[in-house]
């Protein structure tokens, strides 16, 4: 089992994160983590803070001489903005004067769409500062750092993860656009909105400019693609073992995410059954699916084809043309507080989504294969893959129905072996 925890406020001294349960022997350098932290700060439409704040990474535990050692991995990410916030976020009591002016002013005009008002009710505060400090997506830097480590573990097993933007507002990548692989990552990250198709990217940038000019904000969607997965990760046997449920929960836990689709998701719900699933064909190399509508998960388990999940983000709640609200200090009409904000954080949210998927997959793999060292995990994985009998084996490549015969014929000719042990994992 892999466990992870984060702590830290948006304007506190630092974010903290612990990853527990990762096997020993994973090759890891600080640069791997730094690279993903830098990717998370990219993206057209982010606010001023992304330009001046640095993510100061410290690896405190669990790694020695470039290898994980099986102990909990601990890391810190310093907020370089901290010197401006020492009084407002001081752990010790401060003088009341701090709350009179500037950064310390009490935030009594809650923003609709953010955690402000309900957080005040729930935790018993009379202003939103202590709420937004933790509700803020600054915390996603810690998740991305942990995800970068999980990705190193996955890479040791030949599993690769990539994300890209598929929509900004109503500007969408066409349905039939090529699904990227890790080889496309450089091109995706080089694009201002992380869209592969230059024409769609240009329209998305134009839209963000328009939205910014209007004093508004915009959301969108991203897709995460994972290749190299064996079949059978997750399970149909109980609700909390289903991999689709775990991936959906992980993605929905990211600030501002409002919906998750596995594979073709809601598009599938509008199709007839005959056009909604991925028919099986016998190819010379095993059983293959002729389409990728399920997104690589059936019955809560990986099918062995690429995993494809999408997550949709609502527009940023701190709208510059601030929304109507109530000043809870006076009870009167007001506009919501706004100092600065992102106009669009969809490109960055893809990097966070990648991290959450990587952590979830790494956990599910360890659930099935265990391993105190990555070599042990790899041996267990390979033994499982070898144990699947030839007539049940699948290939990740899509079948061409024209040159394949239906899988049923194959099964008829070669029924499952007499002995249970022949196919038992």
Ligand X SMILES: Cc1cc2nc3c(=O)[nH]c(=O)nc-3n(C[C@H](O)[C@H](O)[C@H](O)COP(=O)(O)O)c2cc1C
User: What is the binding site for ligand EPS (CB under 6 A)?
Assistant: 10, 47, 49, 136-138, 140-141, 255, 340-342
| CB-CB contact of 33 with 59 (8 Å) | yes
Q: Residue 16: which residues within 8 A CB-CB, separation 6 or more?
A: 6, 7, 8, 74, 75, 76, 142
Give the rounded distance of the alpha carbon of 374 from its chain centre. Answer: 23
Answer yes or no whether residue 136 interacts with ligand X by CB under 6 A: yes
Cα separation, 324 vs 85, whole angstroms: 28
257-262 vs 307-313, strand pairing mode: antiparallel
317 has binding-site annotation: yes
Total residues in contact with ligand X, by rule CB under 6 A: 20
The helix, strand and coil proportions of the chain, stated in percent and rounded to the nearest 5, come to 40, 20, 40
Answer yes or no whether residue 135 interacts with ligand X by CB under 6 A: yes
* Segment 335 to 374, residues that bind ligand X, using CB under 6 A: 341-342, 345, 348-349, 352
Least separation, in Å, of the C-beta of 326 and ligand X?
18
C-beta closer to ligand X: residue 218 or 345: 345
Answer yes or no whether residue 114 interacts with ligand X by CB under 6 A: yes
Q: Residue 256: which residues within 8 A CB-CB, separation 6 or more?
A: 137, 219, 313, 314, 316, 317, 345, 349
Q: Is 286 helix (H, G, I), strand (E, B) or coil?
A: strand
316 has binding-site annotation: yes
Closest C-alpha to 12, from 110, 105, 102, 84 = 84
Least separation, in Å, of the C-beta of 338 and ligand X?
9
Binding partner of residue 213 among ligand X, ligand EPS, none, CB cut-off 5 to 8 Å per kind:
none
318 has binding-site annotation: yes
Least separation, in Å, of the C-beta of 2 and ligand EPS?
24
256 has binding-site annotation: yes
46 has binding-site annotation: yes
- Which tokens is 392 given? 């049940």
**Site for ligand X (CB under 6 A): which residue of 17, 19, 233, 316?**
316
Q: Write down the H helix ranges in 25-105.
A: 30-40, 49-52
Crossing angle between the packed helical segments 30-40 and 140-156, to the nearest 10 degrees: 130
297 has binding-site annotation: no
Binding partner of residue 349 among ligand X, ligand EPS, none, CB cut-off 5 to 8 Å per kind:
ligand X
Binding partner of residue 10 among ligand X, ligand EPS, none, CB cut-off 5 to 8 Å per kind:
ligand EPS
274 has binding-site annotation: no
Going by the annotation, the residues of the binding site for NADP(+) are 40, 46
| Interface residue list for ligand X (CB under 6 A) | 47, 114-115, 135-137, 140, 254-256, 314, 316-318, 341-342, 345, 348-349, 352
Going by the annotation, the residues of the binding site are 40, 46, 134-136, 255-256, 299, 314-318, 340
């Amino acid at each position: 089992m892999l466990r992870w925890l984060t702590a830290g406020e948006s304007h506190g001294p630092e974010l903290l994160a612990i990853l527990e349960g990762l096997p020993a022997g994973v090759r890891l350098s600080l640069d791997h983590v730094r690279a993903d932290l830098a990717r998370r700060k990219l993206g057209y439409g982010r606010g001023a803070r992304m330009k001046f704040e640095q993510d100061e990474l410290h690896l405190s535990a669990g790694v020695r001489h470039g290898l994980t050692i099986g102990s909990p991995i601990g890391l810190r990410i310093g907020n370089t903005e901290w010197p401006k916030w020492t009084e407002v976020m001081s752990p010790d009591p401060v003088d009341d004067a701090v709350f009179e002016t500037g950064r310390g002013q009490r935030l009594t005009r809650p923003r609709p769409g953010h955690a402000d008002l309900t957080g005040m009710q729930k935790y018993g505060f009379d202003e939103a500062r202590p709420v937004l400090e933790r509700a803020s997506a600054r915390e996603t830097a810690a998740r991305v750092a942990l995800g970068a480590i999980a990705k190193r573990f996955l890479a040791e097993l030949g599993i690769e993860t990539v994300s890209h933007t598929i929509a900004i507002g109503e500007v969408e990548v066409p349905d039939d656009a090529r699904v990227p692989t890790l080889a496309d990552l450089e091109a995706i990250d080089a694009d201002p909105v992380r869209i592969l198709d230059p024409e769609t990217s240009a329209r998305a940038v134009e839209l963000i400019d328009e939205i910014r000019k209007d004093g508004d904000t915009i959301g969108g969607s991203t897709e995460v693609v994972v290749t190299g997965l064996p079949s059978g990760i997750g399970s149909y046997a109980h609700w909390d073992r289903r991999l689709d449920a775990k991936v959906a929960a992980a993605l929905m836990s990211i600030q501002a995410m409002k919906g998750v689709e596995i594979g073709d998701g809601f598009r599938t719900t509008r199709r007839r059954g005959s056009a909604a699933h991925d028919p099986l064909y016998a190819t010379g190399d095993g059983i293959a699916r002729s389409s990728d509508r399920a997104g690589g998960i059936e019955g809560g388990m990986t099918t062995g084809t690429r995993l494809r999940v999408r997550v949709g983000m609502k527009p940023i709640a701190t709208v510059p043309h601030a929304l109507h609200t109530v000043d809870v200090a006076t009870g009167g009409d007001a506009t919501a507080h706004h100092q600065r904000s992102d106009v669009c954080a969809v490109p960055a949210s893809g990097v966070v989504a990648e991290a959450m998927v990587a952590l979830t997959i790494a956990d599910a793999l360890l659930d099935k294969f265990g391993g105190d060292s990555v070599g042990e995990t790899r041996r267990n994985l390979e033994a499982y893959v070898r144990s699947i009998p030839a007539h049940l084996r699948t290939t990740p490549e899509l079948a061409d129905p024209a040159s394949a015969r239906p899988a049923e014929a194959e099964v008829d000719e070669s029924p499952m072996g007499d002995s249970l042990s022949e196919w038992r994992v």
